[in-house]
């Protein structure tokens, strides 16, 4: 059985200056209650790794709006004007990566790889400052693994062993993030008994999950 924690106990594990991965897509699949608790506590100077920053008052977007994030690694920010404004003012350091590239960087970290080679971004600003590698006469960018201190993810269903089921776009990035952080905290909508989830529907095996939020 996994260690069940309250939202407040989960928030106790996240401190100023940490690097935090947040699963989901445009707020869908974000751990909403945990994010709200982090906003209430005003945990600061976070580095956030996520697909996007949702909307100003939705999910991870609330952390941006409340000026709690110092650095962001994401694939797009166009739905959150606060992210754009803070980037343009210099308050927020933003690193934009192609979506597939960021997914592979996170996967590489979880798999213990030294990086991934991709041609995506060659000849664009994406290649600035990055090492290039030639393989069989073709040039690639070396994209290094991306890890975090903590991954906070939402799930539709968790069982008592920490096995997770996601529905639709809510799983975006979450299965990979669960392999690439020192501590993994999940906020499920529903908790069921161990064995109640059909094995073939499990997207994140419980071995990757450290704590399950029980509301």
**Cβ proximity of 83 and 64 under 8 Å:** yes
CATH code of the domain occupying 3-97+146-192+203-213: 3.40.1080.10
Q: Rounded to an integer, what distance in angstroms lies between the CA atom of residue 41 and that of residue 43?
A: 6
Percent of the chain topping pLDDT 90: 95
Q: In the prediction, which pLDDT does 169 show?
A: 82
Q: Output the CA–CA distances (angstroms, integers) from residue 95 to 22, 46, 102, 192, in the order listed.
A: 15, 14, 10, 38
Asked if pLDDT for residue 102 goes beyond 70, the answer is yes
Output the pTM of the full model: 0.94
DSSP 24: S
Q: In the prediction, which pLDDT does 2 show?
A: 66
Q: In the prediction, which pLDDT does 168 show?
A: 85
Q: In the prediction, which pLDDT does 215 show?
A: 82
């Amino acid at each position: 059985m996994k260690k069940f924690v309250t939202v407040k106990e989960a928030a106790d594990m996240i401190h100023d200056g940490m690097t935090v991965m947040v699963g989901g897509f445009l707020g869908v699949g974000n751990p909403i209650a945990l994010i709200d608790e982090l906003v209430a506590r005003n945990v600061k100077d976070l580095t956030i790794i996520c697909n996007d920053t949702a909307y100003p008052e939705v999910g991870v977007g609330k952390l941006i709006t409340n000026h709690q994030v110092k650095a962001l690694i994401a694939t797009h920010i166009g739905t959150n004007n606060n992210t754009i404004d803070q980037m343009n003012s210099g308050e927020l350091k933003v690193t934009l990566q192609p979506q597939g590239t960021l997914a592979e960087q996170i996967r590489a970290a979880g798999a213990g790889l030294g990086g991934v080679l991709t041609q995506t971004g060659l000849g664009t600003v994406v290649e600035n400052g990055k090492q290039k590698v030639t393989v069989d006469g073709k040039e690639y960018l070396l994209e290094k693994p991306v890890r975090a201190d903590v991954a906070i993810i939402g799930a539709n269903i968790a069982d008592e062993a920490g096995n997770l089921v996601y529905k639709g776009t809510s799983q975006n990035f979450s299965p990979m993030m669960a392999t690439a952080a020192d501590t993994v905290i999940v906020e499920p909508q529903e908790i069921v008994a161990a064995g109640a989830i059909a094995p073939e529907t499990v997207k994140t095996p419980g071995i990757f999950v450290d704590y399950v939020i029980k509301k």
